C-alpha cells in the first residue's frame, strides 16, 4: 500500500484512474467473515485485482439498510465470532497479503459507539482503511466521527437518494469527501430489476453542484444494469449480486473473480 498517500487521496486516485481509463470506478461489497473468515479473505484478494475500490462489510445484528442476502451473510459471520475488532484484524491481514486496493469499512453505528468512536476511527486507519461507510449515521450527528476521520486522513461517506429533500442534499454536499453514496432505489440493499426513474437526472443535477465523485449502489443486479448507470455515475457499487454468485459456486474466490471481472468489463464508456 502506498504509505505516502492518505485514505482520501487514495480514494480520489482510484476514481481518477477509472476516469483516465474511460470507465466508472467499480466498488464491490463483500461481508467480512462470510461464508468463513478465511474464505472471505480469499474472495477479497481475488476481486481486488479487478476493482478500483472495495467495500468491506462489518457484521452487525440489526443491519437495517441491508436486504436478505447481506443480512444472511452478516448473521453467519456473527455466528462465527466476527466482531468489529476481528474485521480490523482481517483488514490488516489483507494488507499483509498484498491487497493495495482502497478499502472502505461499511458498518453500523452501535458497534462503533461501543468500541469508542475516536478509538475505532484511529484503529481502522491504522489497519489500512481508507474510509468508513455508516448507513445509520446521518450527517447531522456525525461530527465526532467526521472530525476523527479528518484527523486520520480517511473518508466518511454520506448517503443521498433521489428522494432526499433539499436540506439533506445541501448538508451532504457541504460535508462530503471521498465520494457520495447514491442510493439507487428506495428500501434496503439487494439486486433489483429496475432502478429509480429519476436516478440519472438526480445524479446529473448533483454533478453540477459538486466536484465530489458520486457512486451508485443499492440495487445493481448485474453487468447490463451497471453498464447503463456507468454512463452517468462516477462509480458503481455491487454487493448482493456478488454474494449470490459466490453462494452458487464451489470455487468461491474463482466465482467472485469472474463476476467482478465481467462487471468491470461492462463499465467501459468507449
pLDDT tens, per residue, the chain with 270 residues: 556 789 999 999 999 999 999 999 999 999 999 999 999 999 999 999 999 999 999 999 886 767 788 889 999 999 999 999 999 999 999 999 999 999 999 999 999 999 999 999 999 999 999 999 999 999 999 999 999 999 999 999 999 988 889 999 999 999 999 999 998 765 444 444 455 568 899 999 999 999 999 999 987 878 888 999 999 999 999 989 999 999 999 999 999 999 999 999 999 886
Range of the domain at 23: 7-157+235-266
pLDDT at 1: 56
- Of the CA atoms within 13 Å of residue 210, those in its CB half-sphere come to 21
Out of 16, 38, 55, 198, pick the active-site residue. 55
| pTM of this structure | 0.93
Which residue, among 70, 59, 148, 142, has the nearest Cα to 107 in the 3D structure? 59
The total number of structural domains that make up the chain? 1
Any catalytic annotation for residue 234? no
217 in a structural domain: no
195 in a structural domain: no
CATH classification at residue 50: 3.20.20.70
- Would strands 131-133 and 155-160 be described as parallel, antiparallel, or unpaired? parallel
190 in a structural domain: no
Any catalytic annotation for residue 166? no
- The whole-angstrom separation of Cα 149 and Cα 248 is 37
56 in a structural domain: yes
97-106 per-residue burial string, b: 16 or more CB within 10 A, e: under 16 = eebebbbbbb
What the block records as the C-alpha cell of 265 is 468489463
Out of 16, 38, 62, 66, pick the active-site residue. 66
- Would strands 180-183 and 214-217 be described as parallel, antiparallel, or unpaired? parallel
Which residue, among 172, 92, 93, 96, has the nearest Cα to 129 in the 3D structure? 92
Amino acid at each position: 500500500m502506498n504509505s505516502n498517500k492518505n485514505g482520501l487521496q487514495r480514494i480520489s486516485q482510484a476514481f481518477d484512474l477509472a476516469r483516465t481509463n474511460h470507465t466508472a470506478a467499480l466498488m464491490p461489497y463483500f461481508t467480512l467473515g462470510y461464508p468463513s473468515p478465511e474464505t472471505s479473505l480469499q474472495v477479497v484478494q481475488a476481486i481486488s485485482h479487478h476493482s478500483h475500490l472495495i467495500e468491506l462489510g462489518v457484521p452487525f445484528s440489526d443491519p437495517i439498510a441491508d436486504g436478505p442476502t447481506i443480512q444472511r451473510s452478516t448473521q453467519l459471520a456473527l455466528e462465527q465470532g466476527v466482531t468489529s475488532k476481528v474485521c480490523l484484524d482481517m483488514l490488516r491481514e489483507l494488507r499483509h497479503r498484498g491487497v493495495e486496493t482502497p478499502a472502505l469499512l461499511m458498518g453500523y453505528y452501535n458497534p462503533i459507539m461501543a468500541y469508542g468512536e475516536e478509538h475505532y476511527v484511529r484503529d481502522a486507519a491504522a489497519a489500512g482503511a481508507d474510509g468508513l461507510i455508516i448507513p445509520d449515521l446521518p450527517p447531522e450527528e456525525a461530527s465526532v466521527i467526521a472530525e476523527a476521520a479528518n484527523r486520520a486522513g480517511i473518508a466518511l461517506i454520506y448517503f443521498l437518494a433521489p428522494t432526499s429533500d433539499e436540506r439533506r442534499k445541501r448538508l451532504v454536499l457541504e460535508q462530503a469527501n471521498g465520494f457520495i453514496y447514491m442510493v439507487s432505489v428506495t428500501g434496503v440493499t439487494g439486486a433489483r430489476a429496475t432502478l429509480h426513474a429519476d436516478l440519472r437526472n438526480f445524479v446529473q443535477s448533483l454533478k453540477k453542484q459538486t466536484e465530489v465523485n458520486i457512486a451508485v449502489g443499492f440495487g445493481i443486479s448485474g453487468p447490463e444494469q451497471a453498464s447503463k448507470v456507468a454512463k452517468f455515475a462516477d462509480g458503481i457499487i455491487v454487493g448482493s449480486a456478488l454474494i449470490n454468485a459466490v453462494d452458487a459456486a464451489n470455487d468461491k474466490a474463482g466465482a467472485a473473480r469472474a463476476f467482478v471481472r465481467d462487471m468491470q468489463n461492462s463499465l467501459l464508456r468507449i
